[in-house]
C-alpha cells in the first residue's frame, strides 16, 4: 500500500465525519406545558442517530452542548459508539515461521474476527511468501522497515530465509504509515533498536503501550561461545525499555517468577500472564497415518522419537544428539525424526537411525506429530514451549526441560520433566518410554487430557480483553499520560538509564554497538573464507591441526564459534575428502579449532572481559541517568507552566491559566 493511501473499500482510519449535522436544542428553557416526555425522547433519538462520534463523547463527558439538559432530565446519557480496536504490533522477524510469529498470526486472526484492525510492522527477514499466511483482509496491513541489519550469529547461509535481522531505525515514512493507521494501542513482541523508537512514538502520542515476552533472548548467549559478554548488556537494555511499558505479559508463572527473582522486573513494570493455546482440531492423534511410516521406511512397531524446532546451540540440540547416540549404542530399535533446520543440520544427518525432514507445515507437520511416539525437546530457553503443547495435543509422551516446558508435564504422569542440561536425565526418560509400550499409551492419554484445557481460541481471545483492559487503565488511572504511569514506578531499582527511553548519547552507543557487531560478523566470514581456502591445501590443514575434526560420524555438536558460522565437516571438504574422514576413528586433535580461534574465544568468554563489560555498563548507566536529568532540567524554563508563572503577576487570568 502506498504511503497515505487507504485500503480499498475502507474509510481513511481515524477520520471523523465532521460533515454530519447535529440537531441543537434551544438554549431557552422549554415550556413545560408544551414539552412532553415523549417529545424529549424523540429528540434524543434524533440526536443519537445524527451526532458524530467525537461529539457524542463530548456530550457523555458532560461538556456544555444543547442536548445536555435533555440528557440529564431523562437520566439516559448518550452512549458513545464502541471504539474500534486498532492494534499496531511490532515483531522483528514476522516472515520467519517460529513460535513467536505463529502466535502473532493467531492473534491477528482473532483481532480481525472481533471486527478490529491490525497493522504489523517488521523487518525484511524471512521468506516474503509468508507475509500472507493470514489471508488478506481489508482491516489488515503489513509494513516492513526501511532499515535493518543482519544478526551474524543468527544467520543461516544455507537458507537465507531463516536468517534473522535486527530493526535499526524508524523512518519518517514508517511513522507516517503508523499515523495513517492511527492505532489505539501498541503491542511490542521483541526488543531491538527500532522498538526504542516505537516506545518514543507511543509516548509522544500518548498511546497505550504493552508487550509480550516470547523469547528469553539474553539467555541465548549462554550457549554462544565468544558472545557471553553480550548477555548482561541486553539484560540492562531490555529492562530499561520495559520500564516504559504499561504491562508485559509472560506465558507462564515460572517465567514471571524468574524475571522477578533474577531481574526485579516487577519494580519497573506490571507483569501479567497470558498463556498459549493449541488448535485441537489441527493437532490431534487422529492425524496419525501409516503413510508417514511407509514414506520414511519406518517399521510399523518401531517407536519414533520426535524433535521439532531450530537446530541451533541454544535449543540444546547437543543433548538430543547425545541421547540418540547412546540409544544407538544399546542397539534399541527406534527412529529419531527431526523437523527443523539450522546450523546443526549435518550433525543430525550423520546420526544413525535419524531422519531429518527439514521444516514442515500444514498437514505434513500435524502428521509428523501424530505419527510419532515420544517427544524429546531439551531446550532450556523456551518461555512457553508451543511445540511441546502441540506434541501433547497430538498424543505424545513428553521428555522436556523442567525449567521451561515443565509446566506442561506432570512428571511420571504424561512424561518426564528433566533437570536442565542433564543428559543422563533426558536419556533415562527417553529410554524408559522406548522400552515400555504400556507407559507410552498411558502417558499419551494424559497428554491429550492436558491439552484439552488449553484450547487455542479461548486463550487468544483473552488478549483481546487484555487490550481493552490496558487501554481503559491508561485512560482511567493514568489520564492517558505516560508520565503519570512513570511516577508509579519510580524507585531505586527503576529507570537505571534515566527517565527517557532513548537518553542523550544512547543513539550513538547503539549505533556503535550494532555496527560493531555487524563488522565483527563480516570479519568472521572473511576469516572463515580464508580458513577454508587455506585448508584446501592438505599440508596446510595438517599444519593447522585440523586433520581430525570429529572422532566419528556420530560425534556431538561442536560447540564453538565456528558452529555459529555454520562451520561443520563440510568446511574442509576442499582439502580432506569424506573418504579420508572415514578411515577408522580419526583422532580429535587438541587444536581442532585452531590456536587463534580457540584463544580468541577464551579471551571473549573470560572473567576479565565480563568484568570489563560490567564496568562499562555501570559507567553508561550513570552517564545516561545524568544526561536524562540534565535534559529534563533544561526543558523546565521552556515549559508552558514555567513561562506562565514567571511572566504573570498573579491576577485572576493567570490563576485560570495555571489551573488549565
DSSP per-residue letters across 449-516: HHHTTSBHHHHHHHHHHHHHHHHHHHHHTTTT-HHHHHHHT-STTS-TT-SSSS-TTHHHHHHHHHHH
Q: What is the pLDDT of residue 163?
A: 73
Strand partners, 248: 211, 271
In the block, cell 458532560 appears at: 62
Query: Does one domain contain both 56 and 122?
Result: no
Q: Strands 415-418 and 354-358, how do they pair?
A: unpaired
Domain-ending residue, one of 562, 592, 622: 592
Q: What is the pLDDT of residue 7?
A: 39
Triad 122, 126, 128: Cα angle to 5°: 85
Assess if residue 31 is contained within a domain: yes
Query: Does one domain contain both 239 and 116?
Result: yes
DSSP annotation of 330? T
Assess if residue 380 is contained within a domain: yes
The region, left, alpha or beta by phi > 0 then psi within -120 to 50, assigned to residue 131 is alpha
Task: Assign 398 to helix, strand or coil.
Answer: strand
Query: Does one domain contain both 332 and 433?
Result: yes
Q: In Å, what is the CA distance from 273 to each residue of 241, 252, 268, 408, 467? A: 19, 6, 16, 15, 13
Domain-ending residue, one of 49, 78, 107: 78
CATH number, position 466 = 3.40.50.2000
Look up residue 176 and give its three cell numbers: 507516517
CA 233 to chain centre: 18
Q: How many CA atoms lie within 13 A of 546 on its CB side?
A: 28
DSSP annotation of 636? G
Assess if residue 166 is contained within a domain: yes
Condensed to tens digits (0 to 9), the pLDDT of residues 13-58 reads 434 333 333 333 344 444 444 444 444 344 434 443 443 344 334 3
Q: What is the pLDDT of residue 283?
A: 92
CA gap 201, 456 in Å, rounded? 32
- Report how many domains make up the chain: 5
Q: Strands 148-150 and 165-167, how do they pair?
A: antiparallel
Assess if residue 127 is contained within a domain: yes
Phi, psi angle pair for 599, to nearest 5°: -65, -40
Best CA proximity match to 122, nearest among 63, 59, 77, 187 = 187
Assess if residue 504 is contained within a domain: no
In the block, cell 487507504 appears at: 6
CA gap 318, 351 in Å, rounded? 12
Query: Does one domain contain both 580 and 615?
Result: no
DSSP annotation of 278? B
Cβ atoms 387, 368 nearer than 8 A: no
Q: Strands 304-308 and 374-377, how do they pair?
A: parallel
In the block, cell 496419525 appears at: 288
Average pLDDT of adjacent 10-residue blocks, the chain of 660 residues: 38 38 38 42 43 38 36 38 83 87 90 93 89 87 87 66 80 92 96 93 95 88 83 92 96 88 92 88 91 91 92 88 93 91 80 89 91 93 84 94 82 90 93 93 93 83 94 94 93 90 85 80 74 60 48 35 40 32 37 64 87 92 86 63 50 40
Condensed to tens digits (0 to 9), the pLDDT of residues 127-182 reads 888 888 888 889 999 999 988 877 766 666 666 677 778 888 888 999 999 999 99
Query: Does one domain contain both 198 and 111?
Result: yes
Query: Does one domain contain both 131 and 264?
Result: yes
Query: Does one domain contain both 120 and 227?
Result: yes
Query: What is the value of pTM for the model shown?
Result: 0.71
Q: What is the pLDDT of residue 469?
A: 95
Assess if residue 379 is contained within a domain: yes
Query: Does one domain contain both 250 and 141?
Result: yes
In 223-301, beta strands by DSSP E: 247-250, 270-273
Look up residue 183 and give its three cell numbers: 492505532
Q: How many Cβ atoms from other residues are within 10 Å of residue 591's Cβ?
A: 15
Query: Does one domain contain both 332 and 400?
Result: yes
Domain coverage including residue 562: 521-592
Query: Does one domain contain both 627 and 585?
Result: no
Cβ atoms 566, 157 nearer than 8 A: yes
Query: Does one domain contain both 104 and 246?
Result: yes
Assess if residue 516 is contained within a domain: no
Assess if residue 57 is contained within a domain: yes
Domain-ending residue, one of 32, 53, 78: 78
Burial of 389 (0-12, 13-18, 19+ CB in 10 A): buried
Query: Does one domain contain both 640 and 569?
Result: no
Amino acid at each position: 500500500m502506498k504511503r497515505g493511501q487507504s485500503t480499498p473499500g475502507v474509510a481513511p482510519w481515524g477520520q471523523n465525519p465532521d460533515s454530519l449535522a447535529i440537531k441543537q436544542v434551544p438554549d431557552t428553557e422549554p415550556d413545560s406545558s408544551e414539552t412532553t416526555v415523549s417529545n424529549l425522547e424523540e429528540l434524543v433519538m434524533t440526536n443519537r442517530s445524527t451526532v458524530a462520534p467525537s461529539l457524542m463523547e463530548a456530550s457523555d463527558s458532560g461538556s456544555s452542548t444543547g442536548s445536555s439538559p435533555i440528557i440529564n432530565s431523562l437520566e439516559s446519557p448518550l452512549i458513545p459508539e464502541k471504539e474500534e480496536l486498532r492494534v499496531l504490533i511490532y515483531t522483528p522477524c514476522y516472515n520467519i515461521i517460529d513460535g513467536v510469529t505463529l502466535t502473532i498470526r493467531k492473534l491477528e486472526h482473532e483481532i480481525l474476527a472481533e471486527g478490529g484492525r491490525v497493522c504489523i510492522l517488521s523487518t525484511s527477514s524471512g521468506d516474503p511468501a509468508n507475509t500472507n499466511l493470514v489471508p488478506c483482509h481489508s482491516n489488515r496491513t503489513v509494513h516492513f522497515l526501511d532499515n535493518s541489519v543482519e544478526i551474524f550469529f543468527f544467520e543461516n547461509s544455507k537458507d537465507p530465509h531463516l536468517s534473522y535481522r535486527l530493526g535499526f531505525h524508524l523512518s519518517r515514512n514508517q511513522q507516517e504509515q503508523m499515523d495513517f493507521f492511527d492505532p489505539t494501542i501498541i503491542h511490542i513482541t521483541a526488543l531491538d533498536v527500532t522498538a526504542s523508537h516505537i516506545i518514543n512514538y507511543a509516548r509522544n502520542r500518548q498511546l497505550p503501550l504493552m508487550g509480550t515476552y516470547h523469547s528469553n533472548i539474553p539467555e541465548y548467549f549462554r550457549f554462544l561461545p565468544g558472545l557471553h559478554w553480550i548477555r548482561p548488556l541486553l539484560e540492562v537494555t531490555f529492562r530499561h525499555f520495559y520500564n516504559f511499558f504499561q504491562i508485559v505479559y509472560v506465558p507462564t508463572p515460572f517465567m514471571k517468577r524468574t524475571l522477578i527473582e533474577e531481574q526485579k522486573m516487577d519494580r519497573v513494570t506490571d507483569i501479567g500472564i497470558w498463556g498459549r493455546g493449541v488448535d485441537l482440531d489441527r493437532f490431534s492423534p487422529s492425524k496419525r497415518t501409516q503413510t508417514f511410516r511407509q514414506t520414511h521406511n519406518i517399521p510399523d512397531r518401531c517407536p519414533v522419537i520426535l524433535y521439532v524446532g531450530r537446530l541451533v546451540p541454544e535449543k540444546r540440540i547437543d543433548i538430543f544428539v547425545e541421547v540418540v547416540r547412546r540409544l544407538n549404542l544399546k542397539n534399541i530399535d527406534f527412529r529419531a525424526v527431526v523437523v527443523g533446520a539450522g546450523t546443526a543440520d549435518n550433525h543430525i544427518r550423520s546420526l544413525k537411525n535419524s531422519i531429518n525432514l527439514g521444516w514442515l507445515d500444514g498437514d505434513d507437520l500435524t502428521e509428523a506429530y501424530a505419527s510419532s511416539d515420544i517427544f524429546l525437546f531439551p531446550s532450556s530457553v523456551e518461555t512457553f514451549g508451543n511445540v511441546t503443547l502441540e506434541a501433547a495435543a497430538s498424543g505424545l509422551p513428553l521428555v522436556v526441560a523442567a525449567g521451561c516446558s515443565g509446566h506442561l508435564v506432570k512428571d511420571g504422569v504424561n512424561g518426564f520433566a528433566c533437570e536442565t542440561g542433564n543428559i543422563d536425565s533426558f536419556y533415562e526418560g527417553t529410554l524408559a518410554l522406548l522400552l515400555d509400550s504400556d507407559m507410552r499409551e498411558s502417558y499419551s492419554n494424559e497428554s491429550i487430557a492436558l491439552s484439552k484445557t488449553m484450547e487455542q481460541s479461548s486463550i487468544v481471545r483473552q488478549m483481546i480483553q487484555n487490550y481493552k483492559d490496558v487501554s481503559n487503565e491508561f485512560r482511567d488511572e493514568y489520564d492517558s499520560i505516560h508520565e503519570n504511569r512513570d511516577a508509579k514506578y519510580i524507585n531505586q531499582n527503576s529507570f537505571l538509564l534515566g527517565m527517557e527511553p532513548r537518553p542523550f548519547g544512547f543513539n550513538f552507543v547503539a549505533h556503535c554497538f550494532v555496527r560493531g557487531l555487524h563488522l565483527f560478523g563480516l570479519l568472521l566470514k572473511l576469516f572463515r573464507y580464508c580458513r577454508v581456502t587455506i585448508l584446501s591445501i592438505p599440508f596446510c590443514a595438517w599444519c593447522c591441526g585440523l586433520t581430525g575434526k570429529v572422532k566419528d560420524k556420530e560425534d556431538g555438536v561442536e560447540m564453538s564459534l565456528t558452529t555459529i558460522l555454520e562451520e561443520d565437516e563440510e568446511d574442509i571438504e576442499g582439502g580432506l575428502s569424506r573418504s579420508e574422514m572415514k578411515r577408522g576413528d580419526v583422532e580429535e586433535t587438541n587444536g581442532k579449532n585452531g590456536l587463534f580461534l580457540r584463544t580468541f574465544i577464551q579471551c571473549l568468554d573470560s572473567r576479565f572481559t565480563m568484568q570489563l563489560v560490567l564496568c562499562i555498563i555501570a559507567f553508561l548507566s550513570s552517564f545516561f541517568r545524568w544526561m536524562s536529568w540534565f535534559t529534563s532540567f533544561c526543558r523546565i524554563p521552556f515549559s508552558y507552566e514555567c513561562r506562565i508563572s514567571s511572566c504573570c503577576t498573579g491576577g485572576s487570568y493567570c490563576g485560570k491559566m495555571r489551573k488549565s
